[in-house]
Structure 1
Amino acid sequence: MDMLCTLRSATETQLQALRKAPTRLESFLEDEEDFGDAKGAAFLELDIGEAWHGLQFLLTGTAWEGTPPLDFLVRGGEDVGDIPSDEGTARVFDAASVKALAEALKTVSEDTLRQRFDPARLQAEDIYPGTWEEEEPAEDVDPLEELVSYFVELRKFTAAVAKRGHALLVHIG
């Protein structure tokens, strides 16, 4: 089973609804409408697929640790619950945490990420999906360029969520 990561904005109203009924988490993630928010504000969503663990490593230098807020893909936030249908979990970061994250991501340069990229180390650290040392990457995609591209999108996304004053839900499943 692939482990994919989706990030989604959530208003304070939605966050409160999820806290009261975590069983609705799956519905919230699949809903094309903005459930639980009478204001009808459109949500923002970013799918970073399998790049989540590589980004975690490039941002923190570790597989599962790191310093907040840059370790947000695998740690921190408030646990919202499990999703039985995909065996995934979700954590949510409040608006203040999202703002701090957006500011922290601004300080990370693409050059820094490029310098940290070491396929042998990613493989040794068992960074998902574990195909870092393949001679010919699947679909002729350069893994480093793919990670940098996702990083650029992640930085834009968190800035937009922070600007709205929304919370951020991180789902890996």
Structure 2
Amino acid sequence: MEMLCTLRSATEGQREALLKAPEHLEDFLDDEEDFGDTEGTRFLELDIGETWHGLQYLMTGSAWEGAAPLDFLVRGGEDVGHIPSDEGTARIFTPAQVKPLAAALQALSPNTLRSRFDAGKLQQLDIYPGLWDEPPDDADPLEELLSYFEELRRFVGQVAQRGHALLVHIG
């Protein structure tokens, strides 16, 4: 089963609604009409696919831990629950938690990420998806990760600028 990561902005009302009724998580993720939004603000969404674990490692130097707030792809926030249809989980970060995250991502140099990339080490640590030392002929895994990092940095910055919460779903 593929494990893909989607990040989505949420208004404070949506965040509270999800925490009160986590059974609506799948509806929130599938809803193109801004589930439960009474503020009329269009949501933001970013799909980073299978790169989430590689990004976690490059941002923190750890597969499953690391210092907050840069460990946000695998830890932190408040647990919203899981989605039975994909066995995924979701965590949500308050707007107050998103602001320092956006600042930390801005401060993180792509050169730091480059220096942490070692395909053999990622393979040894079983960093998902586990194809680091045998990438497809036409793909450069480091460049793909750096490209997704730039998208992630921009996205979290936009969420912070709007004063929204951030939902991280891996499933």
Q: Fold-level match, TM-score > 0.5? A: yes
C-alpha distance in 2 between matches for 1:34 and 1:40: 8
Partner residue, 1:96: 96
Letter in 2 for 1:151: F
Secondary structure at 1:62's aligned position in 2? coil
1:162 aligned onto 2:155: no
Counterpart of 1:107 in structure 2 is: 107
* Partner residue of 2:143 out of 142, 145, 154: 145
Q: Which moved more, 1:44-53 or 1:30-39?
A: 30-39
State how far apart, in whole Å, the 2-side matches of 1:100 and 1:121 are.
Answer: 29
The 5-angstrom pairing of residues 47-86 of structure 1 reads: 47-86=47-86
Structure 2 unmatched ranges of 5 or more: none
The RMSD of aligned alpha carbons is 0.8
Query: Residue 52 of structure 1: CA displacement?
Result: 0.1
Q: Mind listing any 5+ residue stretches in structure 1 that lack a counterpart?
A: none
Structure 1 runs of 4+ with >4 Å offset: none
Shift of 1:138: 2.5
Instruction: Give the aligned residue type for 1:165.
Output: G
CA drift of 1:19 comes to: 1.2
Q: Secondary structure at the match of 1:2?
A: coil
Stretch moving more, 32-41 or 67-76: 32-41
Whole-angstrom CA distance in 2 between matches of 1:26 and 1:53: 22
Counterpart code for 2:53? H
What is the identity, as a one-letter code, of the residue corresponding to 1:53? H
Separation (CA, whole Å) in 1 of partners of 2:96 and 2:169? 19
Letter in 2 for 1:156: R
**1:40, 1:84 → 2: CA distance?**
29
Corresponding position of 1:116: 116
Q: TM-score, normalization: structure 2?
A: 0.98
1:2 Cα deviation after fit? 0.3
User: Cα 1:25–1:138, aligned 2, differ >3 Å: closer, same or farther?
Assistant: same
DSSP-derived class of the 2:7 partner: strand
Equivalent position of 1:42 in the other structure = 42
Equivalenced residues, count: 171
